[in-house]
Copies of this chain bind each other. A is one copy, B any other.
Amino acid sequence: MARCVILLSGGMDSATVLAIARAEGHECYALSFDYGQKHRAELCAAKSLAKQLGAVEHRVMTIGMGQLGGSALTDANIEVPESGGEGIPITYVPARNTVFLSLGLGWAEVLGADAIYAGVNVVDYSGYPDCRPEYIAAFQAMANLATKCTVEGQPLEIRTPLINLSKAEIVAEGARLGVDFSITVSCYSADEQGAACGHCDACELRRQGFESTGVDDPTRYQA
């Protein structure tokens, strides 16, 4: 059975991607990052999801990138904003997907995996430069030259099966594949128990996704 690495944040998108990777016949190695994010509850969610969705292994890797600051998600001096606003949001974390995909690339090489799955999608595309298809294509081109395995002829594909889906389509796909969305944590300001704020961009997108599909929304909100 071919192996793959999944970047598993603990949110609904990466949970759905894990379910897709399994449905596509992969043995799944889930990788999460403790990078100084305020919403650390997502790491507990990732642990539960890896187990529920049948990952062979789940690792949480610590990266000291929070010390760089510059994002509302990692910097204590910048508040997570309510949803809306123009341009690239302050919740953007400098080079985050590049760092995460790079570490996934390292693990994939050690495992002899043939794919790395990541839950980037077109909705985030409106805001984050590192969620766009052209960015993923450029990362793939770089990865093809970066590692011993790719240079020696073993292909390693960056797969982003959600990249062209709306949030509603992601909900529908996850539901079809049996993802338990009650475990997932999307909120940028989730409390320690994983309850959502209901006001940030991530909460807004998630709520709209459930509303448009008619799938029951199991999100727990803060009191």
Contact = CB atoms under 8 A, between A and B. Distances in A.
Contact of A63 (B61, B68, B70, B147): B61
Interface residues of A, number: 44
Within the oligomer, what is the number of copies of this chain?
A: 2
Interface string A99-137: 100110111011000000000000000000110101100
A85 interface: no
Contacts of A130: 145-147
A86 to B, nearest CB: 13
A121 to B, nearest CB: 17
A93 B69 CA distance: 27
A185 B8 CA distance: 37
B95 A102 contact: yes
A64 B67 contact: no
Contacts of A96: 106
A99 B102 contact: yes
Contact of A129 (B65, B69, B129, B148): B148
Interface of A: 59, 61-65, 67-70, 88, 92-99, 102-103, 105-107, 109-110, 129-130, 132, 134-135, 138-139, 141-148, 150-152
7 contacts: A62-B63, A94-B107, A94-B109, A95-B106, A97-B146, A129-B150, A138-B145
Which 8 pairs across A and B sit closest by C-beta, in order of nearness? A95-B106, A70-B110, A138-B142, A94-B109, A94-B106, A98-B102, A95-B105, A61-B64
